[in-house]
Amino acid sequence: MCTLFNEIAKEGEARGEARGKARGKAEGIIETGLDCGLSENDILERLQKKLEISLQQAQEYLAMFGKQTI
């Protein structure tokens, strides 16, 4: 039984780590895009392509990180 709980904990930890990495990459893409003068549409396209995410997810990242880096 303990093995099952340990396995579930490891899976949750791995998912959290993957989400954290994706957020970090998104923040970097957004910051670089803004620094280079890219439009929001160009940044959204790059986020979708580089992170293989939906437009909605890209928009959420832009809303989250776009204001912090300006």
| pLDDT digit string, tens, across residues 4-40 | 767 776 777 778 787 888 899 999 999 999 999 999 9
- Alpha-carbon distance of 68 to 38, in angstroms, equals 16
Report the pLDDT value the prediction gives residue 17, as an integer from 0 to 100.
80
Mean pLDDT value across residues 42-59? 96
- Per-residue exposure over 25-57, b if at least 16 CB sit within 10 Å of its own CB, e if not: ebbebbbebbeeebeeeebbebbbeebebeeeb
Residue-level pLDDT at 59: 96
Domain chopping of the chain, boundaries: 39-70
- Name the residue with higher pLDDT: 69 or 64: 64
pLDDT at 70: 44
Helix (H, G, I), strand (E, B) or coil at 54: coil
pLDDT tier at 69, thresholds 50, 70, 90: very low
